[in-house]
Every structure is written in structure tokens, then in C-alpha cells.
Amino acid sequence: MRYLTDYRGQLRSAPETLLEGCRSVVCVGLVYNGPQPYSTEFTDSARAWISRYAWGDDYHGVMRRMLENLAARLLEFEDFRWRACVDTAPLLERSLAHSAGLGWIGRNTCLINQRAGSWFFLGELLTTLDLPPGSPAPDRCGTCRRCIDSCPTQAIVPSPHGGWELDARLCISYFTIELRGASPEANRDSIGNNVFGCDICQDVCPWNRRSPQTETAAFLPREEPAPPLERLAALSEAGFRSLFRGTPVTRARYAGFLRNVAVAMGNSQLPKFRDPLEKLAASEDALVAEHARWALARLNLAPRV
């Protein structure tokens, strides 16, 4: 993820480079939580887990339209210049949201709100308005270590600057979304049945016990949140694009998604996945084929000759 450390890294703390004359940033959060069980309550190894935020429409477009509507409302009272940002511009969103008082940055590196938990997206409206600043929220994690102790890959590590940070090289969300090559073999068994993202460090957070549910229809699940692995393994590339069109899942790309499905099948301990895994092992895509062979070996199933 070089885009986090290349020349754009120096721009993240300077909103004025994104909007000339920027004086204030309006930070917003939009809840996406639903009534469905958490991944930590899910035990069906024949089904895949897709991260909660990706069940509905891609949040980038949804929030951008809302921010544009907010700007239009504000323009009714005063003329100003603005720019809407939703996880696409080089901007330190969590730090800004923390400074604005939306919450504190927890040990799992998520922004946590005392009433809303952490199941919400962040968006920003950069403006030339001179608005009074918010007050940073106090850290309320206390001595809790549930996210640290529950992470299957131990990706939440001590920071050299004090506190905790997320090592993306160990994070299941990185393995299943951003990584373009092979997932590290030493970590594959810890990925479990996650085929896109991971929610565990949020699922176990006490502040999410009473999280509100979304009122945004676009974030409601289009499909069953935990689809059968066998169904996903059988998707053609066109079928993948059709099933997940307009959702964040397409970011994993087709080959990466099948790679994840193969790993989840290998972790299922279910011999019934032999046939779909053998089909994936015969794939022309070397990445998919290698992970399918690994899964067959993990199930103690030698490929049929």
C-alpha cells in the first residue's frame, strides 16, 4: 500500500493542499451496523464471511452524495468554497474526526464513539468557512485488551511511539483485500472463513454491544451476509462482477477473491469441498491454483489425477 507512504503521505496533514483557503473541516460519521450476528457468533464453516461494511452499496458514493447535500444546505446561509472527501483524498480522517470530537482512536485503530461504537464510515467536508473547532474525545478503552487478544494473526502490536498500532502485514483485511499476490502461508489458517475483510477486532469491542443500527437503506445486505463457499467458488468473472457490482467487494478483484475462497475452504475442514477446489486448482490463474492446492493439502486430500 505504497499510496500511504509515497508523496501523498506528506499531504495528509495539510487539507489546504486539497482546497485552497481551507479553514475548517466538517467531519461526519454514518452508521452501517445492522441486526445480523457478528462474525464471532458465526460457526458455519461452509459459508464465507464478508466484512460488515461491504454488505450493501459502496459507501464512497453514498456518503459523497450526502456531503454534497450538506454543502448545498450550508450554501443557503453563506457563500463559501468546499470539497467533499470520502476515503479517497490524502487526508488523516481519523485524526481529524478525533479532533472534531467524533470519538477516540481505539487500540484496534478504529475511531470509537461512546454511543455509536465503531460501526460507522467517516467523511469530510473541507470548507473555507471559519467554524469553531470541536473538542477531542477522551480515550475510553481503559485497560481493555479484547481486540488485541482476539486478533487471529496478532496484528495489533505495540507502537514504538507508545500505545498500539496495526501491522498491516499481519492483518486479515489486508490479506483479503489489498494484497495482490499470495497470502502468507504461515497465516492462511488464521484467516479462517474471511473472504473479504475482517470484523473480529470490532465484534469483540465492548463499545459495540449497543451500537445503533443503520437507517441508510443502501447499506442493508443485498445478499445473505454469509454466502455458501461453494457458490462463490463457482462464480465466473462475469458472475463475480454481477453479484458484487456497486459494492466494496470488487476491490479484491476476481482472482484475489477466488484465492480467498480457496483459503476459506481449506480452513473449513470439510472434505465436501474437494470438487470445487480441484476445479480451482486447475485454474489458468497461478495465484488461484496455488491456493486451491494448499487448501486440498490442508484437507488431507490429494488432487485426483
What would the pLDDT profile of 90-121 be if each residue is shown by its tens digit?
Answer: 899 999 999 999 999 999 999 999 999 999 99
List, as own/partner pairs, every contact residues 95-98 make where C-beta atoms lie below 8 angstroms and the sequence separation is at least 24, other chains included: 95/13, 96/15, 96/25, 96/27, 96/124, 97/27, 97/29, 97/122, 98/136, 98/137
Q: Across the strands, what pairs with 113? A: 117
What would the pLDDT profile of 67-96 be if each residue is shown by its tens digit?
Answer: 999 999 999 999 999 999 998 788 999 999
Collapsing DSSP states into helix, strand and coil, what is residue 164? Answer: strand
Instruction: Return the domain boundaries, the chain.
Output: 2-227, 228-305
Question: Residue 158 pLDDT more than 80?
Answer: yes
DSSP state of 271: G
Question: Residue 164 pLDDT more than 90?
Answer: yes
Give the pLDDT confidence score for residue 1 in this predicted structure: 57
DSSP state of 228: B
Q: Are 252 and 261 in contact (CB under 8 A)?
A: no
What would the pLDDT profile of 23-34 be if each residue is shown by its tens digit?
Answer: 999 999 999 999
Give the pLDDT confidence score for residue 302 in this predicted structure: 64
Q: Are 118 and 102 in contact (CB under 8 A)?
A: no
DSSP states along 1-59: -GGGTSGGGGGTT-GGGTSTT--EEEEEEEE---SSPPGGG---TTB-EE-GGGSSS-H
Q: How many helices (H) and strands (E) does the chain have?
A: 11, 9
Q: Are 57 and 219 in contact (CB under 8 A)?
A: yes
Question: Residue 305 pLDDT more than 70?
Answer: no
Active-site annotation holds for 167: no
Q: How open is the CA angle 111-223-36, to the nearest 5 degrees? A: 50
Q: How many CB atoms lie within 10 A of CB 257?
A: 25
DSSP state of 117: B
By the 10 Å C-beta count (0-12 exposed, 13-18 middle, 19+ buried), 192 is classed as buried
Q: Which of 57, 87, 167, 285 is catalytic?
A: 87
- The greatest distance separating any two alpha carbons of the chain, rounded to the nearest whole angstrom, comes to 73
What would the pLDDT profile of 126-138 be if each residue is shown by its tens digit?
Answer: 999 999 999 999 9
Q: Are 190 and 264 in contact (CB under 8 A)?
A: no
Architecture of domain 228-305: Alpha Horseshoe (1.25)
Query: Mean pLDDT for the chain?
Result: 93
